[in-house]
Structure 1
Amino acid sequence: MAIPFLKITQSDRDALIYNMQEEKVANNFYTAMQNLYGINVFENISKSETMHMKHVKALLDNFGIDNPVSGKYEAAGSFMDAGLERMYNDMISTGNISVTDALKESAKFEEMDIRDLKAFVESTQNTSIESTLNMLINASGNHLRAFVKNLKTRGIEYTPQYLSQEEFNGIISSSGKSKGNGNCIYSK
């Protein structure tokens, strides 16, 4: 076990535990949708979510926090947080209906993730946590753009569910701050 390099608050600890599980929801859902529909956007973003989990795990390790997605919670669709497990199951049910429904669920999830991450950033005083969460916010913006772009190629305009229209428009119209930039286009 790593020796914590900084003290963190209980709020920071809870946020990291929740965020690790939220990243796993995304990874598990996108992997399942990739297996079902075989389109690049799900494959590319599920790989990205794996990297996000590694970043959050590094923080968990640095602060001596047990990984909430290991052991009996390592299996796809299994979560310590019952609410996240219900959300995952609901997403799978909806995503299984059609590729369009899967893309809408994905966009909705990325919106929720952005909202949650921003709230976590505002509540922490820890710069290492803040830096990692800001990186995840940028990545989630890229993912949101990719899902919205894939919906648009199918003639569907996505309406934001969790973000204000103004915040959503700002994310969609930006070019992205990291690789990806929403260019995971439909290929099946």
Structure 2
Amino acid sequence: MVILAVVALCVYLIDQIAKVLVVSNLFEGQQIEVLGQLLQFHFVKNAGAAFSIGSGSTWIFSIVGVGVLGFVIWYAPRIRSTAWAVLFGLLLGGLLGNLTDRLFREPGFGVGHVVDFLQIPLLPAIFNLADVAIVSSMALFLILTLRGVGLDGRHAHDDDEDGVDETDAGLDVEPDAAEPAPDRRDEPKS
């Protein structure tokens, strides 16, 4: 839980500090090349979600954000894996960063515009550090899920003592049932 909180706090603070610097040093629409055509700063106020989808429904994203935030906080005590704690920390920090914008930036409470400023010219989006954290958490989710890592940190195959998953081996019998039956020829008949 501590790792989750530290990651979330770091993501949130870095995102908010970056947004304050952008708003105070750039004018809306301004573009600055940072790494030539690889990375640019391009300050925009986004009323929607990714790719400005749903720009007329900002309040819906605020409500969904609060709901997901509540779920992450409720679910956090169940996490026993460092990797899953990092994942949920990235998600929580990113959600808080964008939700703060939606709740407290202009034009008003719950309908505020998110400050986006990172642009990779090869991609059709302008985003922020909170978005990077959220997308990174989803990439980590895919990796952990595909590798079979549970919230407790164990791999799915760790439950099997001999390391062989009988279902994958095509065996339909319980491991104990594969033992030969005892020889009953020497037992007295009743």
TM-score, length of structure 1 as denominator length: 0.34
Q: Which has the larger radius of gyration?
A: 2
TM-score, length of structure 2 as denominator length: 0.34
- The structure with the greater share of residues assigned to strand is 2
